[in-house]
Chains A and B, each alone.
Chain A
Amino acid sequence: MISEHLSEGTSYLHDFDPRLKIIVALIYSVTVALLTSFPLLLLSLFFSLILVFWARLSSGTVFKRLLVVNGFVIFLWFILPFSYDGKELISLGPLVVTDVGVYQVLRITIKSNAIIMCLMALLSTSPTFMLVHALHHLKVPSKLVHLFFFTYRYIHVIYTEFVRLNTAMKIRCFTPRTDLHTYRTYAYLVGMLLVRSYERSKRIYQSMLCRGFNGKFHTLYHFESRPKELLSAAAMTTFVLLIAIGQWLPLGKLITF
């Protein structure tokens, strides 16, 4: 299931207008993804860390989520150092680790951690429904917004259905083993899950139709950006602009290597 408990905090970033958070997160992510300079990358990592502390996220959850991301990144460490031409660092028989390869994978590692931490601090701190509303207000095409919302909504439906079926199995003493009975039971579980989630999603849709749904989501609450929030968002954006300048203006070349 999609856990939303990071959104339940009370920090300043939690109260922040989600529209501003989405905008800042977007330009920050794109900029960081394109950075190549190590000092600037480290600076961004530091900035993301500050955001995480600012949002007062539980370090356990942050760590767990970063573990997932780095689970993917670790595969790159097995491949990329060997796949670039450059100065030889270590050679393992026919395999040669080059400096360029190591730099490259190091960049990716820093980038992904910086971006994920920023997204956790800025986006996970708003409930999904709020983000959906914010996307609407930002004039994102409504088809995309609906896709996002219903994916979220129905993953939740499927998950609750799964919990129900799983309990039904457990109370009749089901313990998974490596045998045909277990495989068959799991196959039934998955099949049942699909059928029941489909049926339920159909009923939810019907009930929406009954209440006059015609493909448009109207929002009950309007967002308001307080001047303080606008100021903070402007400050964050300025920071992003500064690292962009550091990377791409000739002036910045001094600190690039």
Chain B
Amino acid sequence: MVTTGEIDNILIELRETFFNYGERPVLKGLSFCFYKGERVGLVGPNGSGKTTLFLIIMGLLKPKSGELKIFGQIRKKEKDFTDVRRRIGFVFQDPDDQLFSPTVAEDIAFGPLNLGVPREQVMKIVSNTLAMLGLSGFENRVTHKLSGGEKRLVSLATVLAMNPDVLLLDEPTSGLDEKTTLRLIDILKNLNTSYIIASHDKEFLKEVTNKQYRMIEGKLDILDIQDSLKI
């Protein structure tokens, strides 16, 4: 039984979604519900469609068929996603795709400025976000000269600065050393945001998520606790 309370708490809902890359089908009738407060892990082999799912949620790819409902509204056209992008933060797999401004401060400010936040407040957001990630003093560092781990954390900062309701993280631990991974775990545990993380890192997912799905045959299978210990 689904109660009305639960329906209100559904943030993202996909129904019978199909998606092809050219001839190759990636999503084959995928259905998925994501509730407020959930911390979801997505596992699955390379090329199984985890990133594709994220891109569809953000409206960057259009599914062949299926229904996509985000924050209680059907999302179809480019226009429908303006509000989605405002409220869902997507951290790309490769931080180099995300960071394009010369300095850290400007890159973090990019999102809030786009949302029309006044400049003085943006300055405060920049320093608060950096402080939250333990990166205080990074404001004027040049983005393309940061180390891999720093780039990752800064790209997370650029998204957190927009204060999203939901976070989508694509392989956030790839290329991170142990220390930085621990730092990321710490950061995620202290967030009040619901999130979905696609990752191959089982230990990491065990630490930061409370529900896991496996992407298999273009669909999502929920993993029970027994399974999730084995993933």
A residues near B, CB below 8 A?
127, 129, 153, 200, 203-204, 206-214, 216, 218-222
Contact = CB atoms under 8 A, between A and B. Distances in A.
Contacts, number: 67
Closest 9 interchain pairs by CB? A212-B114, A218-B113, A211-B111, A203-B97, A220-B109, A207-B98, A129-B102, A210-B90, A206-B60
Contacts of A127: 102
Nearest to B84: A210
Contact of B162 (A203, A207, A208, A211): A211
Contacts of B159: 210-211
B122 A207 contact: no
A213 B158 CA distance: 13
A200 B97 contact: yes
Contact of B106 (A203, A214, A220): A220
16 contacts: A129-B101, A153-B100, A203-B92, A206-B55, A206-B58, A209-B58, A209-B60, A211-B159, A212-B111, A213-B114, A214-B82, A218-B110, A220-B109, A220-B113, A220-B119, A222-B119
How big is the B interface, by class? Answer: 20 to 34
Interface of B: 55, 58, 60, 82, 85-86, 89-90, 92, 94, 96-98, 100-102, 105-106, 109-111, 113-115, 119, 122-123, 158-159, 162
Contact of B97 (A204, A212, A213, A214): A204
Q: Which of B55, B90, B100 has the most CB of A within 10 A?
A: B100
Contact of B115 (A212, A219, A222): A212
A28 to B, nearest CB: 27
A212 B162 CA distance: 9
Q: Which of A209, A212, A220 has the most CB of B within 10 A?
A: A220
Given A129-B102, A206-B60, A211 B110 contact: yes
